[in-house]
């Protein structure tokens, strides 16, 4: 997917980018490739593939769920900034916090934010379990996103404690995600969430399946969650 196709695909969904936003995506690609030579940020470095599998895939979460306005967004385990930085470029009013456990990635993200001239972004070096117990972050965000970080029962425990009541947790998955959704029902309910929307679509060009699950935060997360770092992955909340 070249830049023109990317812009056309967004425009068809009501997302019109300015010249400055187009420049930000171009510079994002350049920095991603440049820094990828120093650290492992992504296996995808071909320009057309980055625009499709990283940029468009990230923004696709906004095709059905609104992201306009001054929402506070927390991205858990964003790696090289996906999906939150493409969303921030498209919707500049978003206030974005990225939480990542690898300090080298935080260094890249700080440089990226400066180079792109992004306001209202912060990058936090922490485990999600630690952030979920930190009063600064616990139940503090309108939207929490995660893109292929872990299986859904684990993700629920990492993300839902960060979502304020009335907010949303959005999980982005590839193919065959229904099994994970079934597996996560107990965890989601225990942590104060409720599934409000789920949808599948095919990423254009390569026609690969994507699944997006939207959970509303309908009750406070019990104080004992999230458990200590590493525990959710080793002992997921399942029946």
Quick: pLDDT tens for 77-100: 888 999 999 999 999 999 999 999
* pLDDT-based confidence at residue 177 (cuts at 50, 70, 90): confident
Rounded Cα distance, 186 and 177, in Å: 16
Report cis status (omega within 30 of 0) of the bond before 226.
yes
List the beta bridge partners of residue 200: 211
Helix axes 19-36, 3-12, angle to 10 degrees: 130
Q: How far is CA 87 from the centre of its chain?
A: 9
For residues 146 and 159, is the Cβ–Cβ distance under 8 A? yes
Q: Which CATH superfamily is domain 68-234 in?
A: Vaccinia Virus protein VP39 (3.40.50.150)
Band (113; pLDDT cuts 50, 70, 90): very high
Does the annotation place 82 within a ligand binding site? yes
Question: Do the annotations mark residue 14 as ligand-binding?
Answer: no
* Both structure tokens of 90: 């498209």
Domain layout of the chain by residue ranges: 68-234
- What is the per-residue pLDDT for 174? 84
Residue 52 Cα distances to 21, 36, 87, 207, angstroms: 17, 18, 14, 11
Contact 76, 141 (CB under 8 A): no
Question: By the 8 A CB rule, do 95 and 101 touch?
Answer: no
- Tens of pLDDT, residue by residue over 24-75, are 999 999 999 999 999 989 999 999 999 999 999 999 999 989 898 899 999 9
How far apart are alpha carbons 201 and 108 in whole angstroms?
31
Q: What is the pLDDT of residue 133?
A: 96
Place of tokens 């930000």: 24
For residue 43, give the H/E element and its range. Answer: none
Which segment of 2-11, 176-185, 225-234 scores lowest on mean pLDDT? 176-185
Q: Is 136 annotated as a binding residue?
A: no
Q: Is 215 annotated as a binding residue?
A: no
Is the predicted pLDDT of residue 130 greater than 90, yes or no? yes
pLDDT of 175 over the 80 cut: no
Strands (DSSP E) contained in 179-231 are 193-203, 208-217
Q: Is 201 helix (H, G, I), strand (E, B) or coil?
A: strand
Q: How many residues does the chain have?
A: 239
Contacts of 115 (CB under 8 A, 6+ apart): 27, 31
Tell me: is residue 77 an annotated ligand-binding position. Answer: yes
């Amino acid at each position: 997917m070249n830049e023109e196709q990317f812009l056309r695909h967004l425009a068809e969904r009501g997302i019109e980018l300015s010249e400055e936003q187009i420049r930000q995506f171009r510079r994002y690609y350049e920095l991603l490739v440049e820094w990828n030579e120093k650290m492992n940020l992504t296996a995808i470095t071909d320009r057309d593939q980055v625009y499709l599998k990283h940029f468009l895939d990230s923004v696709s979460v906004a095709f059905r769920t609104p992201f306009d306005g001054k929402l506070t967004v927390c991205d858990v385990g964003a790696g090289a900034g996906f999906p939150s930085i493409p969303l921030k470029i498209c919707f500049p009013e978003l206030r974005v916090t990225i939480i990542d456990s690898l300090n080298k990635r935080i260094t890249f993200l700080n440089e990226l934010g400066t180079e792109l001239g992004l306001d209202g972004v912060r990058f936090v070096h922490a485990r999600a379990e630690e952030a979920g117990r930190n009063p600064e972050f616990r139940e503090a965000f309108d939207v929490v996103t995660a893109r292929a970080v872990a299986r859904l029962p684990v993700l629920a425990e990492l993300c839902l404690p960060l979502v304020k009541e009335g907010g949303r947790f959005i999980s982005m998955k590839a193919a065959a995600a229904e099994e994970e959704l079934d597996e996560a029902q107990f965890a989601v309910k225990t942590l104060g969430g409720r599934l409000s929307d789920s949808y599948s679509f095919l990423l254009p060009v390569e026609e690969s399946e994507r699944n997006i699950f939207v959970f509303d935060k309908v009750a406070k997360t019990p104080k004992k969650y999230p458990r200590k770092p590493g525990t959710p992955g080793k002992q997921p909340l399942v029946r």
